[in-house]
Amino acid sequence: MNDRDSYRLATRLVRAGQSRSQHKETSEALYLTSGFVYDSAEEADARFAGTAPGYLYGRYANPTVRVFEERLMALEGAGAEECLATGSGMAAVTAALLANLKAGDRVIAPRALFASCLWILDTLLPRFGVAVELVDGGDLDQWRDAAKRGVTLALIETPANPTLGAVDIKSVADIAHAAGGLVIVDNVFASPVLQKPFAHGADLVVYSATKHMDGQGRTLAGAILGAKDLIDKHIREFLRHTGPAISPFNAWLLAKSLETIELRVNQQCRNAVRIAEALAGHPRIERLLYPGRADHPDHAVHARQMSAGGTLIAFDVAGGRAGAWRFMNALQLIDISNNLGDSKSLVTHPETTTHRRLSDADRARIGITGGGVRLSVGLEDADDLIEDLLQALDA
């Protein structure tokens, strides 16, 4: 009743998935339990056989986790027929990859990726006989050339960490599908509010719910969404038996957070637009990259795929690493952190933190410079944020 498809999104974000207990609570109930009991041995038999409905064990499913999953499906919209939550974003990425791969398979991905995703690809998968080819994500000729050697899976991240380059989801999906491959989109940076990868041909969408979904810096979580047969065929079993389950408490927090995600992300975008405007052309900023600005080199692709410019801005502070560090250390309101998507604005120096494992050549190739800074725009008043950024640039 509460998640009727005909309701509009804002309604479903507040209502979808709730099933009230016999106590008729207003808010969503928190079922903090690892197991479930049966009225009889016969009922246990029937539930395990799948002929009677009901929960079996917390590693498989939980009613509070289900509220989060159903609400996220409502947000993702068309194409998200099923959703399974995980204990972190990396658990979701790893499961989506491993559940669909075996020795001898081939993965193609851009080299500009979240650092742990890159580790899974360049270090973990090759140990199990999976070949991985990295390409420049924005160069479709490189995708086409790599696909000639075969593609089991293509993993896309767009906008990409940390320089916010675009990957054209539809074109890459066409290339991968023509070669018989599946397409997984890591949609964390855009969030499900701004970008709908299924509309552009994605087969699976993965999230770190740690970022915009929680949005208040409290918990780690992740999720995988896709067509029901695709999730049921490989991913459900993989998660059941390998065990990266989300805590019901964290799922409860996230179900409540999804009630406000549209309001939060849209306001963070409005703040980001104002900050990008205030910083572009500043004499101490050598380059500013914001997907919502016409001067972003990938603006056309971002504009096709995203409904707004997003909550992240990347820029190069004059003076290389020393200039960037001086600027970061002079900030009085904005915090230094490698996290993102929080209500608190956070600034990161990718060269020495998230991307320190890369060689100088690889960093240069994806556009990470010594002066490069990534700003995750929060929910503070934009004028306070702009004043803080300008005073730190003057330092």
Interacting positions 213-232 with ligand PLP (CB under 6 A): 220, 222
Is 208 a residue that touches ligand PLP (CB under 6 A)?
A: yes
In eight-state DSSP terms, residue 245 is P
Taking alpha carbons only, the member of 57, 60, 55, 58 closest to residue 19 is 55
**Per-residue interface string for the shown chain with ligand PLP, residues 177-206, x marking contact by CB under 6 A:** ---------x-xx-----------------
Is 342 a residue that touches ligand PLP (CB under 6 A)?
A: no
Spell out the residues 6+ positions from residue 50 whose beta carbon is closer than 8 angstroms to its own: none
Distance (Å, whole) CA 273 – CA 7: 30
Which residue's entry shows tokens 């940390």?
Answer: 162
For residue 278, the Cα-to-chain-centroid distance in whole angstroms is: 27
Contact (CB, 8 A) for 82 and 75: no
Q: Which is nearer to ligand PLP, 118 or 382 (CB)?
A: 118
Q: Which is nearer to ligand PLP, 18 or 161 (CB)?
A: 161
**Per-residue interface string for the shown chain with ligand PLP, residues 141-160, x marking contact by CB under 6 A:** ----------------x---
Closest distance to ligand PLP from the beta carbon of 137 (Å)? 13
Contact (CB, 8 A) for 302 and 291: yes
Taking alpha carbons only, the member of 77, 125, 82, 84 closest to residue 103 is 125
Is 88 a residue that touches ligand PLP (CB under 6 A)?
A: yes
Is 93 a residue that touches ligand PLP (CB under 6 A)?
A: yes
Closest distance to ligand PLP from the beta carbon of 282 (Å)? 27
Is 115 a residue that touches ligand PLP (CB under 6 A)?
A: no
Taking alpha carbons only, the member of 224, 213, 200 closest to residue 262 is 213
Residue 348, phi then psi, degrees to nearest 5 = -130, 145
Is 114 a residue that touches ligand PLP (CB under 6 A)?
A: yes
Is 90 a residue that touches ligand PLP (CB under 6 A)?
A: yes
Q: Which is nearer to ligand PLP, 67 or 95 (CB)?
A: 95
Is 163 a residue that touches ligand PLP (CB under 6 A)?
A: no
Is 377 a residue that touches ligand PLP (CB under 6 A)?
A: no
Number of residues lying near ligand PLP (CB under 6 A): 17
Is 117 a residue that touches ligand PLP (CB under 6 A)?
A: yes
Rg of the chain over Cα atoms, rounded to whole angstroms, equals: 22
Residue 371 burial by Cβ neighbours in a 10 Å radius (0-12, 13-18, 19+): buried
DSSP, collapsed to helix, strand or coil, labels residue 367 as coil
Which residues contribute to the site for ligand PLP (CB under 6 A)?
88-90, 93, 114, 116-117, 157, 161, 186, 188-189, 208, 210-211, 220, 222
